[in-house]
Structure formats: structure tokens, C-alpha cells
Structure 1
Amino acid sequence: YVKIGSHKFRVVGVLKKQGKFMGMFSLDNQAVLPFGTFQRLFSRRGWMNVRVKVNTDNYDEAKEEIYGVMRQIRGLKPMEKDDFAINQSATMEAQYKAIKLAIGGTGLFITALSLIVGGIGIMNIMFVSVKERTKEIGVRKALGATQSMILGQFLMEAVLICLIAGLVGMGLAGGLSLLINQFFPSSMPVGLAIGSIIISVVIGIVSGLVPSYQAARLDPIDALRYE
């Protein structure tokens, strides 16, 4: 048995855990009881939410019938306005999908912008690295290092920088996902994690290609003379 207010009810089943709705209230501390019983015991309280499950494809007809029943329950005369509202789950679902799509689009734009800015930042870092290590490049070339070896070295460094940054970002995103999961059921798919690593590698290659090519093209004599 469970006690709600001053009334005692017999428990006939337990619903599956659903968590919180949009972080505002929990769906797991609610009780389902016959409408007639609820109306008889709690109808004098101010606000009331009634959930109706319709086993028909003709929602419009069912909605009109529900309107009629609710007006009768509320004691409304034919010309009186409704003092209640009926929301269809399909309408609410469409609104939720629209909001989700807008949030997803905004997130995608911010992600793309961050990748571009990050790529430019990595490119600038590599240009500075090439300039500061010009003499080192000259020494390596004098000892027999080929252009492809110099190119590969600096390209690998750019990829490693982006890969480490990507892994750190994934770690932060995973922690944030655990926090958000307290309010919205969410998870990080394996495919998304793999895709993030691939994107990090691609950004590293694209960002480091020009600086690496510049390093590979340096003349060893000029590089050794660089101060």
C-alpha cells in the first residue's frame, strides 16, 4: 500500500523508470489511479493534469469526444469558454523535434566554427615552430634527411597536437554528458567518438600541410646560416 495525502491506495504495479523531464521534475514519483477515484478524492484541488491514451487512428474524433466529456465534468454551459486545455502528444513531439533540430543546428555551426578557428591556430603554431627550428632543419638536411622526412616529421607533430586536443575534448564531452544525463537521458555513441578522432587527424593534416611543406623546402645552407 502507498499513502497519498490522507488516502491509502493498494499498489497493483510499478512503472518503468523514466527519469526527469527536461530537468524540471521527475516522472518517477507519480502515481496512476482510476480517473473516477481521482476526481472524487482530489477534484477540489486547483490544477489537474489528466493523461488519456486513445486506441484509434481517428484522433480528431477522439479529441472532440474528450472535449465533450471534459466540458461535462467541468459543468460548462454551451456558450461558455473552455477552462481547460487539451494537448496531443504528437503536437508536443513535433515541437520537441523542432527544438532539438534547432539546438542540433546551432551546435553543428559552433562545432564547425571551432574547427576552423582551431585549424588556423594549429597552422600558426606550426609556422612559428618551423621558423624557430630552421637551424635544426638545416642540420638534419645536412646529415642526409630528405624533404619527405622533414615533411612527415612536421606533419606528424601537427596531427599529434590535434589528436591530443581531440582526446581532451572527448574527455570533457564525456564528463558533460554524464552531467546532462542527470536531466536528459543521453549517451556518447562509439561511432561519434571514432568520427571525432578521424576529424582531429584530418584537421591536423590540413592545418600542418603548408607549414610542413615550407619546412621541407628550406635550403640547408640558408637554414644553417639562419639566426
Structure 2
Amino acid sequence: MLFFKLSWESFRFAISALKTNLTRTILSLLGVTVGIFAIIAVFTLVDSLENNIKSSFSFLGTNVMRVDRFPFASGPQDYPWWKYFRRPPGTIAEYEFLKERLTSAEAITISASSNTTVKAGSNAYQGMALTGVAYTYPDVYDIPLEEGRFFTESEINASRNLAIIGRIIANTLYPNQEIIGKQIKIRGMKFTVIGVFEEEGEGLFDAPSKDEACIIPYGAFTKMYYTGRNGLEPTIAAKGMEEDIGLVSLENEMTGLLRAKRGLRPTEEDNFALNKTEFIQNAIGSIFDVISIAGWVIGGFSILVGGFGIANIMFVSVRERTNIIGIQKSLGAKNFFILFQFLFESVCLSLIGGITGIFIVFLLSFIQLGSLEIVLSFKNIMLGLGVSTIIGVVSGIVPATLAARMDPVEAIRTN
């Protein structure tokens, strides 16, 4: 109890000293404010930009492996580019083959896409992303619906002319009207709307958005488009198990099954690529890791200057209060009581600067930057407070230690 009481008294002395020299306090914390602002602003911007970019690629799914002709990563340097074009695309037969035999996946689906125009009466929308899907599509990809429902298995198998559309398309074709049950026309064929996607809003880099998308049964899609070699290439995608780290088991099993289905001999190379959707997100994360390091460097110099400023002020403060220190020690004050006075003063000074810098970042987060939403995360707030505390301790520990070790007689005699 005595320790906590003395610590509280030390804290009060520190606050009193900061209030007494208010102008000096404000000037001292400016360096820390600028440093913390620079670091947290960079990290907040980087995190917000990274999250927005990753969300723009959410249509690729998570923990998903796709069968493609081209790999996401660059292949061997000596691999002829024309061999990629000679690879056969995935087929509905391969999808059915994998669906029956694959054991390392939670679900597997097939889809094919094309851009087209959709009409309803005198209204039309150009550039709609039309996708034909299997019944297992929502088991692999996220399909958030604002209204309506997904297709039933019987509707998919019967290739019914049903559609789920995005909010922008719905508002364009039937403004201010209930869309469920309405008719739309795609490539001359009539479809009944049974659902509407949740609105996503504008994304970065014109990435595909469900607001401008439409999905229909795969069989209905093949009535309008030829799929396979010399046509639109369907995409087979499998969702891996949560416990399959890195999708290693899924990749090995899919490789073996696809090689068997395509009749490849043991000496023949794979004529397909298995792409993990996490590759793109990891590549994006690597880029932003480098930017984060640059943020540390930029803010680090400001923090360093702020730390030297606080240390300098603390040495001056010790010098000004030498007599008081001598009197306190002669009256029985413990060394840690003196130490805590100056250490608390240094930490408080640094924390005030850090909190000010974080608050400025918080205010700037309300600025609209187009489709980029800036969010000051709790992680970055704690980072700013943690860095401020460390700077305060490092800057004040030496002056505080010198004050705590003063001889009381010598301290009282000092003018």
C-alpha cells in the first residue's frame, strides 16, 4: 500500500510540474506528436488500402483452389509461353469426376462468365457480368443476398431461366420498384429474377462487383454461350478444409485426379495449373509490408527527434528542481519516489503527444477519399500508445536515475 501511495504522489508531482511549465510542455510534446502522427497515419492508410484492395478481390473466395490453364505465379523461366495456350480448359465432365471422388475439399463447383447486356422493357444495362453457376456455387463462394433466395438444386438441374442480379442492375431496370418476380431479357432469352445481391458499393481499380453482376443456372448459361475449347472457359474451383494448411492435401489429391482424368502418363508434365486464391492476397500483403517498413522509417526519425527533445527537457527539469530533490530526500523520500516523479513526467509528456497524434489521425479518417474508406483500427491505436510509452520511458530513465541518485546535502547546496 505504501508503494502505491508513493507512486500516486510521484504521479501528482509529475502532473504539477507539467502544468507549471505549460509552454515548455507543449513545445516538448510536438516532436512526439508529429512522430506518432506520421507512423499511425501511414499504418492506418496502409491497412485501409490493403483491406480495400483485398475486399475488391473477395470474388475469388477464401481458401479456394481453382483449375486454370495459366498459373497466378510466374512459371519456370524456360517454360514456353505457347504451351499454356495449348492446355485444355476445364470441362463439366471433369467437374463431375472431381465432385464424385474428391475427399479433401468441403465443396467443389464450376462456373463460366461473360459480359453482356441485360434489358427490361425500354431500360437496358450494358457491361453486366453474367455467370452461369452450379448448385454448389454458394458452398465455395460467398453469395450475400439482400432480397430473395438462391436457386434450388432442381432448378439448377433443370436449367431454369432464373436469375439473381446486383443492386445497380435492379435499380436501372426497375427503378423504385419491387424486383423479385420481374422479367429481364438476356441475349433474347427471358429470365425471372428471384434474388438481389447485397450492395457492395464502389470498389478500387474497377474490380468486379456483385452490384453489376448476374448469376443464372449453368445449363441456362450454356444455352446462350458455347463453353470449352474454342469457347468460354469454365472455371472449376474447390474450397479446402480449414485444417488443410496451405491446401497441401487438396492440391495433391486434385493433381492426381486431374492427371488420371486427362490420361497423363507419369513422365508427362501437368497440362493444368492449380491456383490458390490466397496467392493474390499474400502478394498484396507483401507489398504493403514493405510500405509499412517505410512508414516506420519516416515516423522513426520524427520519434527520435521527439525523444531527444523530451530527454533534454527532463535534464533541464532535474536541474531546476535539484534543491527540491535534496529537501525531499532529506525528509526521507525514497530513491524510487524521486525516480518515479521524473519518469512519470516523461511518460505523461510522451503519452500526451502520442494521444494528440492519434487524435489527429482519427479526425483525418473522416475525410472522404473516393471509394477508399479510412479506418483507424484499435491495433494502430494501441501501437501508438505503446510507442509513446516506450519513448517516454527511454527518454526519461537517465534523467530520472540521476535525480534519484543525488546526494541530499549536495542537492540542497546547489543554487
TM-score class, shorter: 0.5 to 0.7
Check whether the contact 1:18–1:27 (CA below 8 A) recurs between aligned residues.
no
CA distance in 2, matches of 1:94, 1:201: 32
CA distance in 2, matches of 1:101, 1:55: 32
Residues 1:126 and 2:126 aligned together: no
Q: Which residue of 1 aligns with 2:329?
A: 141
CA distance in 1, matches of 2:325, 2:308: 23
Q: Which residue of 1 aligns with 2:173?
A: 9
**SS of structure 2 residue aligned to 1:161:** helix
Match of 2:353 among 143, 148, 165: 165
1:69-94 C-alpha deviation (Å, 9 max, x unpaired): xxxxxxxxxxxxxxxxxxxx999868
Match of 2:381 among 193, 199, 206: 193
CA distance in 2, matches of 1:116, 1:169: 15
Pairwise CA distance, 1:133: 1.5
Q: Which residue of 2 aligns with 1:44?
A: none
Pairwise CA distance, 1:153: 0.8
Identity of aligned residues (%): 33
Moved more, 92-101 or 175-184: 92-101
- Structure 2 unaligned regions, length at least 5: 1-119, 126-171, 180-192, 216-232, 239-276
| CA pair 193-135 structure 1, distance change in 2 beyond 3 A | same
Pairwise CA distance, 1:107: 1.2
- Structure 1 unaligned regions, length at least 5: 35-51, 58-88
Q: Which amino acid in 2 is paired with 1:131?
A: R
Residues 1:178 and 2:360 aligned together: no
Q: TM-score, normalised by structure 2?
A: 0.36
**SS of structure 1 residue aligned to 2:332:** coil
Residues 1:103 and 2:291 aligned together: yes
CA distance in 1, matches of 2:234, 2:200: 18
CA distance in 1, matches of 2:324, 2:394: 24
Pairwise CA distance, 1:129: 1.0
Moved more, 106-115 or 202-211: 106-115
| CA pair 120-174 structure 1, distance change in 2 beyond 3 A | same
Pairwise CA distance, 1:19: 4.0
Q: Which residue of 1 aligns with 2:200?
A: 18
Q: Which amino acid in 1 is paired with 2:354?
A: G
Residues 1:203 and 2:391 aligned together: yes
Aligned residues: CA RMSD: 4.3
Residues 1:215 and 2:415 aligned together: no
CA distance in 1, matches of 2:332, 2:370: 58
Q: Which amino acid in 2 is paired with 1:179?
A: I
Greater fraction strand: 2
Q: Which amino acid in 2 is paired with 1:18?
A: E
1:39-84 C-alpha deviation (Å, 9 max, x unpaired): xxxxxxxxxxxxx994569xxxxxxxxxxxxxxxxxxxxxxxxxxx
CA distance in 1, matches of 2:366, 2:409: 56
Greater fraction helix: 1
Q: Which amino acid in 2 is paired with 1:212?
A: A
Check whether the contact 1:137–1:150 (CA below 8 A) recurs between aligned residues.
yes
Pairwise CA distance, 1:180: 5.9
